[in-house]
Amino acid sequence: VSMANVSSVREHEYLRPVAESAEPWVRVLLSGKAAMGGKASAKQKPLVLKFDCSGSGKSKVTITIPLPDHDPIKFAFVKECKAGDIPGFDVTLSSYEPGVRASYAVKNGEPTPAYRTPQGNDLPLAMVREAQFKTSFYLQMSTFNSLEFEPPLVTSSDAFCLVSTSGDAASGGWIDDISSQLIINFNCIDSGTALITVAVPILVGEAVVNASFAFRKECRWTSTPGFDVTLGAWIQSERGTYAVRNGAATNAFSLWAPKAIVRSSQYSSIFYLQMSTKDEQDFEWPTVESSDSLVKVTLAGPASKGGTAKPASDKPVALIAKYDCMKSGKAVLTITIPLGPWNEAAFSYVKECSVGEIPGFDVTLGAWIPGDRHSYAVKNGAPTDGYDTSDHTAIIRAGTPSYTFYLMNSGESALSVDRPSVEVSNPAVTVNVSGDALTPGPLEEQARSLVLDFACAERAKTD
């Protein structure tokens, strides 16, 4: 759009151009600097027309350029279209521009040039980089009709690149103008480039037609192919639930900049060790390190003493990390799992801690597991959930005439206690208190006993 040099008028204002197609199966999209309107001058401004054909045939296209003080300028032409075997069926990338074939894997049922299925030695140009553990495609209709499709079939040309599908399109269904997501997940257990082929079976009339496309996936070798560490809530298709994949820490559990966070209200984490291949992997005793002494971590569970990670068809081996926070703050925890004499799998994450008003002041039960809040009545000066003064659930059985709690200082600061007091809500129950905790004085790591003897005048309950 420009003004001729011979014109006496140097510039002319025009409004936003409009494109119209005589046939509904041709969409015309306008772009370029001239598409928003403006002023025509000696400097040319491009007006780009992009065509989105969802049918075969010819259609008249009319372009109208409105002028504020004159009749609009119009011109027209004929657009020829040739649609594929399934007019209107498209598969787009996550970021797509309507009508721009570079953002489509399939257009009108046929693969676009970059996603063509192999023909002889010609491989598809589209490539998924090694850093990508999944990629998404979107199935939709660019017309107003809908089609039924079966679960897409995704295959890999090489055994080192395992593929699986997820997303709402993975189980089949109906395709309409609202897109359905197909997620293809990659599990690379060796280096190389694999050819990935996707076939979407679509019911057209009484026949099933496969809309197919292909791309290549880059894979990088890992030191321990198939060795995975997953979280307690594990979704097989989502990398976000992996701490270690094929022997290497995932991005969220990076050794250098971990993003995974365990909140202050979580006192333990469960990790599961297993193999995604048919092989087995022996491992030795895992170790854990903390970047700050504000939290003590102990490892428990079957995997804490070494063992064998077995294929996914067998039961995974659980590794439990238990947290004992001494101060408020954050610490980076690193768990290392030795895999034979020369190899290991390690991952890191952040642990948040928020302790009570008296760090280090603990009251434990008679059977006590360090760091396990279920064996504490008070931790860092605050009651644990079962012993909360307003909403307690802990119960001492009727057949227990006496119970002993233990007061201790697990912190670094000196603490001193006065004589404890006991209140009973039901007068039918009498409680006698004894033990060395009744003597005021310094409280150290060596626990001091607080003994409660119960005398019930009748069948009753009391706080």
- Average pLDDT on 135-148 reads 88
Identify which of 107, 12, 347 has the alpha carbon closest to the alpha carbon of residue 115.
107
Residue 240 pLDDT grade (very low, low, confident, very high; cuts 50, 70, 90): low
pLDDT score of 182 more than 90 = yes
What is the structure's pLDDT at 170?
Answer: 92
Q: How far apart are CA 243 and CA 233, in angstroms?
A: 12
Strand partners, 301: none
Tokens representing residue 210 in the block: 């496969």
CA atoms within 13 A on the CB side of 389: 8
Residue 235 pLDDT grade (very low, low, confident, very high; cuts 50, 70, 90): very low
Q: What tens digit of pLDDT does each residue of 244-274 get?
A: 988 888 888 989 889 999 998 888 899 999 9
What is the structure's pLDDT at 371?
Answer: 76
- Average pLDDT on 281-307 reads 93
- Say if pTM beats, i.e. exceeds, 0.85: no
Q: How far apart are CA 463 and CA 445, in angstroms?
A: 29
Tell me how far the alpha carbon of residue 185 is from its chain's centroid: 13
What is the structure's pLDDT at 42?
Answer: 80
CA atoms within 13 A on the CB side of 453: 4
Cβ–Cβ under 8 Å, residues 81 and 26: yes
Tokens representing residue 342 in the block: 């020369």
Range from 79-93, 234-248, 413-427 carrying the lowest mean pLDDT: 234-248
What is the structure's pLDDT at 7?
Answer: 59
Tokens representing residue 186 in the block: 């990659």
User: What letter represents residue 190's amino acid?
Assistant: D
First-last CA distance in the chain: 86
- Average pLDDT on 331-358 reads 90
pLDDT score of 94 more than 60 = yes
Identify which of 216, 201, 220, 207 has the alpha carbon closest to the alpha carbon of residue 160.
220
Contacts of 256 (CB under 8 A, 6+ apart): none
Contacts of 262 (CB under 8 A, 6+ apart): 269, 323, 349, 350, 351, 352
Burial of 446 (0-12, 13-18, 19+ CB in 10 A): exposed
Contacts of 28 (CB under 8 A, 6+ apart): 19, 20, 21, 49, 50, 51, 52, 61, 79
Q: What tens digit of pLDDT does each residue of 396-412 get?
A: 988 889 999 999 998 88
Residue 117 pLDDT grade (very low, low, confident, very high; cuts 50, 70, 90): confident
Tokens representing residue 63 in the block: 């372009």
What is the structure's pLDDT at 234?
Answer: 45
User: How many residues belong to the chain?
Assistant: 463
Q: Are strands 104-107 and 110-111 parallel, antiparallel or unpaired?
A: antiparallel
Tokens representing residue 392 in the block: 């307690």
Contacts of 128 (CB under 8 A, 6+ apart): 135, 186, 196, 215, 216, 217, 218
